[in-house]
Amino acid sequence: MSQFTLNLAPERRIWTVSELTARIRDTLAAQFRDLWVEGEISNCRPAQSGHIYFTLKDDRAQVRCVCFRQQARLLKFRPEDGLHVAVRGSVSVYEPRGEYQIYVENIEPVGLGALQLAFEQLKKRLEAEGLFDAGRKRPLPVLPSRIAVVTSPTGAAIRDFLRILRRRHPGLHVLIHPARVQGEGAAEEIVKALGWLNRTLAADVIVLTRGGGSLEDLWTFNEEAVARAIAASQIPVISAVGHEIDFTIADFVADVRAATPSAAAEIVVGTRMEFERHIRELGRRLVQRVKYLLLEWRDQVRELATHTGFQRLEDLLRDRRQQTDELAGRLGEALRVRLDVARRRLTLAQARVAAVDFRARFAAPRSRLEQHASELGARIERRLALWRQKLERVALQLEERSPLRLLERGYAIVSDAAGNVIHSSTAVDAGDLLRVLLAKGRLRVEVKKKEE
């Protein structure tokens, strides 16, 4: 009778950790290849490599997620803690830790569009940096002569802009810098245009404009690169993007925001027209002020003309002139008297000689006498001419020493408010009002400082 052993126990299979993890990975990858998962982002941490790691959770569970750099750079917004999102991707296992996670291909905000969320995030970040502050915005030039327009040369915006400028101010020089305003590469072209205009200083003001459109159409002007290029511009920038209800990041960063391209043209021309109106108003006020000053100065001249000090000066001048005339008359009379005496003496001598009839005897003396008489007359004439010259010099000296002549040489007569002539600095104090008489005109001055 043969013996045998029946083993009914199942054969045992022992798995390694790696094998088990790999089997789970394959199973998950096969079952959950492309799916959407909704939840709240937490523990979001971007890595230096560009990958984004976060946890997606709800009120009862959580799952780890990773969005690699290639997918992350295509996102229109930045994932951050607290956002409620729906992620699309595949489920697999990260074998070194034995954790399953979602490899994210795309992320969409729940309840808010990705573009709108990206707009709000960038606006909040740039506002925190101070790029929207009114203190950093540059004023528009008062008289712009060169205007640069960065836009599509075939769009309706440039046509509206130029139409307003031609109608309101046809003399302005407009430089159109072509750039795409929508689609791939548009932001780079706008940044390049702003950089070139600032390097060449080709304009006094830059107008960045395009027509209206959807949020996607206007997204170029919500790019961070465009916003920072506007903020870095040394030339004032006017943003005229879309319609009046459209707002972009460029509007907040620009120095001036215009509701439409046509409104931008009105703003540019308006500054010049406002300046011209201001100049006309200043001219009118200047004319009125000059007229008022002329009337005031005329009254001051009339007041000075009737002042006792001025009248006293005129009296002194009249007295000097009269004294000069009297001296000249007395000098002329004295010369005539001496001449008459000499003539009488000569006549008397001639009579005596004629009575004695010493003609033959005194022919020679007579000849000498006549010669002496002629010489005497010549000497008298010379003496008269000399006295006349002295008289003229005295008169000239009197005229030159006249107070009026002193005034013409740059001197002045200073009197106080009562009309008393000031001879010393001790007679006045700082703050006193004085009157200065010049050769032509008068001045009212205030003593600021006096020196001994």
Name the residue ranges covered by the structural domains of the chain.
Answer: 17-112, 120-274, 308-403, 413-446
pLDDT at residue number 67 = 92
Rounded to whole angstroms, the Cα distance separating 255 from 264 reads 12
* Closest C-alpha to 435, from 413, 452, 450: 413
Q: Which CATH class is domain 17-112?
A: mainly beta
- CATH, range 120-274: 3.40.50.10550
Residue 312's φ and ψ, nearest 5 degrees, are -60, -40
Radius of gyration of the chain (CA): 55
Residue indicated by tokens 């001296």 = 327
Is 17-112's fold the same as 120-274's?
A: no
- pLDDT tens digits in sequence order for the chain, 452 residues long: 455 555 555 677 788 888 888 888 888 877 888 888 888 888 888 888 889 999 888 888 888 999 998 888 877 778 888 788 888 898 888 888 888 888 998 887 776 566 677 777 777 878 888 888 888 888 887 777 788 888 888 877 788 788 877 777 666 788 888 888 888 888 898 899 899 988 888 888 889 888 777 777 777 888 888 888 988 888 899 888 877 666 888 888 888 888 888 788 778 776 566 666 767 788 888 888 888 888 888 878 777 767 666 666 767 777 777 788 788 888 888 888 888 888 888 888 877 767 766 566 667 777 788 888 888 888 888 888 888 888 888 887 777 677 766 677 778 888 888 888 888 877 788 888 888 888 788 888 888 888 77
pLDDT at residue number 251 = 85
pLDDT at residue number 196 = 92
